[in-house]
Protein backbone atom coordinates (compact mmCIF):
# COMPACT_ATOMS: atom_id res chain seq x y z
CA UNK A 1 0.00 0.00 0.00
CA UNK A 2 2.11 2.78 -1.31
CA UNK A 3 -0.59 5.34 -0.45
CA UNK A 4 -0.32 4.38 3.21
CA UNK A 5 3.39 5.11 3.27
CA UNK A 6 3.08 8.44 1.44
CA UNK A 7 -0.07 9.94 2.91
CA UNK A 8 -0.48 8.42 6.32
CA UNK A 9 3.08 8.13 7.56
CA UNK A 10 2.74 11.65 8.95
CA UNK A 11 -0.97 12.32 9.51
CA UNK A 12 -0.22 15.56 11.34
CA UNK A 13 1.00 17.23 8.13
CA UNK A 14 -2.51 18.21 7.00
CA UNK A 15 -3.28 19.68 10.42
CA UNK A 16 -0.03 21.67 10.56
CA UNK A 17 -0.38 22.93 7.02
CA UNK A 18 -4.00 23.98 7.51
CA UNK A 19 -3.33 25.58 10.89
CA UNK A 20 -0.69 27.75 9.23
CA UNK A 21 -3.18 28.72 6.51
CA UNK A 22 -5.84 29.56 9.12
CA UNK A 23 -3.40 31.71 11.08
CA UNK A 24 -2.57 33.64 7.91
CA UNK A 25 -6.29 33.97 7.03
CA UNK A 26 -5.74 31.99 3.84
CA UNK A 27 -8.95 30.00 4.11
CA UNK A 28 -8.92 29.16 0.42
CA UNK A 29 -5.58 27.36 0.96
CA UNK A 30 -7.19 25.28 3.71
CA UNK A 31 -9.88 24.24 1.25
CA UNK A 32 -7.27 23.55 -1.46
CA UNK A 33 -5.23 21.38 0.93
CA UNK A 34 -8.28 19.41 2.00
CA UNK A 35 -9.40 18.90 -1.60
CA UNK A 36 -5.93 17.60 -2.53
CA UNK A 37 -6.06 15.08 0.31
CA UNK A 38 -9.61 14.03 -0.59
CA UNK A 39 -8.67 13.56 -4.25
CA UNK A 40 -5.70 11.40 -3.24
CA UNK A 41 -7.90 9.40 -0.88
CA UNK A 42 -10.55 8.92 -3.54
CA UNK A 43 -7.86 7.72 -5.95
CA UNK A 44 -6.56 5.34 -3.28
CA UNK A 45 -10.07 4.01 -2.65
CA UNK A 46 -10.79 3.52 -6.35
CA UNK A 47 -7.41 1.89 -6.98
CA UNK A 48 -7.61 -0.54 -4.06
CA UNK A 49 -11.24 -1.44 -4.90
CA UNK A 50 -12.31 -2.63 -1.44
CA UNK A 51 -15.64 -3.86 -2.82
CA UNK A 52 -13.69 -6.65 -4.53
CA UNK A 53 -12.08 -7.88 -1.30
CA UNK A 54 -14.56 -10.60 -0.38
CA UNK A 55 -12.34 -13.51 0.60
CA UNK A 56 -11.77 -14.12 4.33
CA UNK A 57 -7.98 -13.84 3.88
CA UNK A 58 -8.49 -10.32 2.46
CA UNK A 59 -10.35 -9.10 5.55
CA UNK A 60 -7.33 -7.34 7.08
CA UNK A 61 -6.62 -5.53 3.83
CA UNK A 62 -10.27 -4.49 3.54
CA UNK A 63 -10.33 -3.22 7.12
CA UNK A 64 -7.12 -1.25 6.57
CA UNK A 65 -8.46 0.43 3.43
CA UNK A 66 -11.72 1.35 5.13
CA UNK A 67 -9.96 2.55 8.30
CA UNK A 68 -7.55 4.76 6.35
CA UNK A 69 -10.35 6.23 4.29
CA UNK A 70 -12.53 6.93 7.33
CA UNK A 71 -9.57 8.47 9.17
CA UNK A 72 -8.95 10.90 6.31
CA UNK A 73 -12.63 11.83 6.33
CA UNK A 74 -12.52 12.35 10.10
CA UNK A 75 -9.46 14.58 9.85
CA UNK A 76 -10.82 16.63 6.97
CA UNK A 77 -14.12 17.01 8.80
CA UNK A 78 -12.33 18.46 11.83
CA UNK A 79 -10.12 20.72 9.70
CA UNK A 80 -13.09 22.12 7.76
CA UNK A 81 -15.28 22.91 10.80
CA UNK A 82 -14.41 26.64 10.89
CA UNK A 83 -15.36 27.04 7.22
CA UNK A 84 -18.37 24.72 6.85
CA UNK A 85 -19.48 23.84 10.39
CA UNK A 86 -22.84 22.24 9.53
CA UNK A 87 -21.45 20.12 6.72
CA UNK A 88 -18.49 19.04 8.84
CA UNK A 89 -20.84 18.27 11.71
CA UNK A 90 -22.97 16.01 9.51
CA UNK A 91 -19.86 14.17 8.32
CA UNK A 92 -18.47 13.71 11.83
CA UNK A 93 -21.89 12.62 13.12
CA UNK A 94 -22.08 9.99 10.36
CA UNK A 95 -18.58 8.79 11.27
CA UNK A 96 -19.71 8.47 14.92
CA UNK A 97 -17.08 10.95 16.12
CA UNK A 98 -18.22 12.14 19.53
CA UNK A 99 -18.70 15.87 19.96
CA UNK A 100 -15.87 16.13 22.50
CA UNK A 101 -13.39 14.50 20.03
CA UNK A 102 -13.73 17.11 17.28
CA UNK A 103 -11.10 19.57 18.43
CA UNK A 104 -7.86 20.47 16.70
CA UNK A 105 -5.87 18.52 19.27
CA UNK A 106 -7.79 15.40 18.20
CA UNK A 107 -6.01 15.53 14.85
CA UNK A 108 -2.74 14.59 16.53
CA UNK A 109 -1.84 11.34 18.13
CA UNK A 110 -2.14 7.74 17.15
CA UNK A 111 -4.18 6.51 14.25
CA UNK A 112 -7.45 5.24 15.68
CA UNK A 113 -7.97 1.61 14.60
CA UNK A 114 -10.96 1.14 16.89
CA UNK A 115 -13.83 -0.36 14.95
CA UNK A 116 -17.03 1.62 15.00
CA UNK A 117 -20.12 1.63 12.88
CA UNK A 118 -21.37 4.49 10.84
CA UNK A 119 -24.24 6.29 12.52
CA UNK A 120 -27.75 5.39 11.43
CA UNK A 121 -28.53 8.91 10.27
CA UNK A 122 -29.26 10.33 6.87
CA UNK A 123 -26.05 12.10 5.98
CA UNK A 124 -26.07 12.95 2.32
CA UNK A 125 -23.47 15.69 2.26
CA UNK A 126 -23.75 16.51 -1.41
CA UNK A 127 -26.43 15.40 -3.81
CA UNK A 128 -25.17 14.13 -7.11
CA UNK A 129 -25.69 16.71 -9.80
CA UNK A 130 -27.41 15.09 -12.72
CA UNK A 131 -28.07 17.34 -15.67
CA UNK A 132 -31.70 17.29 -16.75
CA UNK A 133 -32.49 15.28 -19.81
CA UNK A 134 -33.04 17.49 -22.76
CA UNK A 135 -35.86 16.21 -24.86
CA UNK A 136 -35.23 16.28 -28.52
CA UNK A 137 -37.68 18.54 -30.26
CA UNK A 138 -39.02 16.85 -33.34
CA UNK A 139 -40.14 18.96 -36.22
CA UNK A 140 -43.56 17.99 -37.46
CA UNK A 141 -43.40 16.15 -40.72
CA UNK A 142 -44.44 18.18 -43.68
CA UNK A 143 -47.56 16.96 -45.36
CA UNK A 144 -47.07 15.56 -48.77
CA UNK A 145 -48.79 17.57 -51.41
CA UNK A 146 -50.40 15.52 -54.12
CA UNK A 147 -49.82 16.72 -57.61
CA UNK A 148 -52.93 17.31 -59.63
CA UNK A 149 -52.88 16.54 -63.31
pTM: 0.74
Residue 122 reports pLDDT greater than 80: no
Which DSSP symbol is given to 51?
Answer: G
φ, ψ of residue 117 in degrees (nearest 5): -90, 155
Identify the pLDDT of residue 9.
Answer: 44
Q: How far apart are CA 49 and CA 139, in angstroms?
A: 47
Range of the domain at 64: 2-107
Asked if residues 1 and 64 have their Cβ atoms less than 8 Å apart, the reply is: yes
Q: Which residues are within 8 A (CB) of 69 and not within 5 positions of it... i.e. 6 or more apart? A: 41, 44, 45
Helix residue ranges per DSSP H, 2-126: 2-8, 12-23, 27-48, 59-80, 85-94
The verdict on residue 134 lying in a domain is no
Give tens-digit pLDDT for 25-66: 999 999 999 999 999 999 999 999 999 999 999 999 999 999
Q: How many domains does the chain have?
A: 1
The verdict on residue 77 lying in a domain is yes
The verdict on residue 135 lying in a domain is no
Identify the pLDDT of residue 113.
Answer: 60
Amino acid sequence: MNFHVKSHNKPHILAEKCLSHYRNFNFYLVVDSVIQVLHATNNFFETTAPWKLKAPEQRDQLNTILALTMEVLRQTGIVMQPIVPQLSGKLLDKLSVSRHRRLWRDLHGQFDRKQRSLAEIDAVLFRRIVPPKVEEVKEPKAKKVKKRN
